[in-house]
Amino acid sequence: MGKTRSWEVSDAFWEQVAPLIPTAVRDPGKAFRRKPGAGRPLMEPRKVFEAIIYVLRTGIQWKALPKEIYGRASAIHTYFQKWHRVGFFTNLWRVGLAEYDEMEGVAWQWLSVDGSQGKAPLA
C-alpha cells in the first residue's frame, strides 16, 4: 500500500468533514428558466474538498489543478468561494480545534498575540 500524500483525504477525516459541507439550496423566490435538474450535475463534495486541500497544501494556482483528476478548476474555485461565504472553513477549524483540545489539550493560558507595525523602508 502506497504512502498517503498530504493532500489526500482519508475516510476517517472525510467522516468528520462530510456533515459540515453546506448543501446547495435553490432560492424559492427566484424564477428559474431551466427545468429542475437541467444543466451540469453537481460535483461530488469529497472530490471538491480534496481539490481544495490539494491547492492549499501544494500552493499551486487554481488553474493548475489537474483537470483529469479533479475537474474544472473554475468550478472548484466557485465551490471554494461559496463554502467560504457560508462559513464552512471557520466551522471546520472550530471542530478541529475542539477535537485537538480534547485529545491533547490546548494550553490556553500560554496563548498570546504579538504584532508590530512599522514603516516599510524605502527600497
**Under a CB-based contact definition with an 8 Å cutoff, are residues 85 and 24 in contact?**
no
Mean local confidence (pLDDT), 33-38: 73
Question: Is the per-residue pLDDT at 18 higher than 80?
Answer: yes
Measured CA angle at 56 (ends 74, 77), to 5 deg: 15
Predicted local confidence at residue 41, as pLDDT = 78
Predicted local confidence at residue 73, as pLDDT = 92
Mean local confidence (pLDDT), 49-68: 91
Q: Is 31 helix (H, G, I), strand (E, B) or coil?
A: coil
Question: Is the per-residue pLDDT at 43 higher than 90?
Answer: no
